[in-house]
Amino acid sequence: MMAAITSSTRRTPSIAVVRSTYESFFGTEGMEIVTSVGSDDIGIIVTDGVNVAIVTDSAVDSWLRFRGLVAQWKAHCGAMSSVSESVLFPAYQNIIGMGETAVPFLLRQLADEGDDPDQWFWALKAITGADPVNEDDLGNNLLMARSWFEWGISMGYAW
């Protein structure tokens, strides 16, 4: 998945911050990170020899916004037993409001949560309109997460 480079503002982001955020989000295994500085755009071009991703200041801003919303949601709804109530919390709804931008972030969040994935399935379904989970797997968060990972890979997302 490629993030667009935009030059709507002429501020200069810190390449070190972009690189650090990219590495903490995606990791560096098998990736070559090349700093690219152009006259209008600053970003990091990342390639594994086949795929190329460009991480820009706006991508970092989106990631940081997402992480803040996740923290708000978890702090407020962490012990809440009602899934339907917790997904109505404003921070969760704001993640959905991020739209397509949030999809790789949500898949990464699920992956980071390992064997105990949280309720990100509603957001993924609301944003994408997809529902890759088998009916037999409903209620099993681990199997539901695996279904979304398979879907994400088939749709070309990187996380």
- Output the CA–CA distances (angstroms, integers) from residue 128 to 29, 89, 107, in the order listed: 28, 20, 12
pLDDT beneath 50, residues of the chain: 1-18, 31-42
Determine how many CB atoms are found less than 10 A away from the CB of residue 53.
20
Which pLDDT score is estimated for 47?
55
Which pLDDT score is estimated for 16?
44
Q: Give the separation between CA 147 and CA 78, rounded to whole angstroms.
A: 24
Which pLDDT score is estimated for 83?
82
Which pLDDT score is estimated for 39?
40
Q: Give the separation between CA 132 and CA 74, rounded to whole angstroms.
A: 25
Could you please report the per-residue DSSP string of 20-49? HHHHHHH--TT-EEEEEE-SS-EEEEEESS
pLDDT in tens, 87-100: 999 999 999 999 99
Which pLDDT score is estimated for 43?
55
Tokens matching residue 3: 């993030």
H-helix or E-strand spanning residue 54: strand 52-56
Which pLDDT score is estimated for 145?
96
- Output the CA–CA distances (angstroms, integers) from residue 133 to 50, 53, 104, 121, in the order listed: 29, 28, 17, 9
Domain ranges of the chain: 15-57, 59-154
Q: Which residue has the tokens 């903490």?
A: 24
Which pLDDT score is estimated for 2?
40
Which pLDDT score is estimated for 63?
86
Which pLDDT score is estimated for 23?
59
Which pLDDT score is estimated for 61?
81
Residue 121's closest CA among 87, 154, 155?
Answer: 87
Q: Give the separation between CA 159 and CA 157, rounded to whole angstroms.
A: 7
Which pLDDT score is estimated for 46?
55
Which pLDDT score is estimated for 124?
97
Q: Give the separation between CA 102 and CA 124, rounded to whole angstroms.
A: 9
Tokens matching residue 62: 């989106």
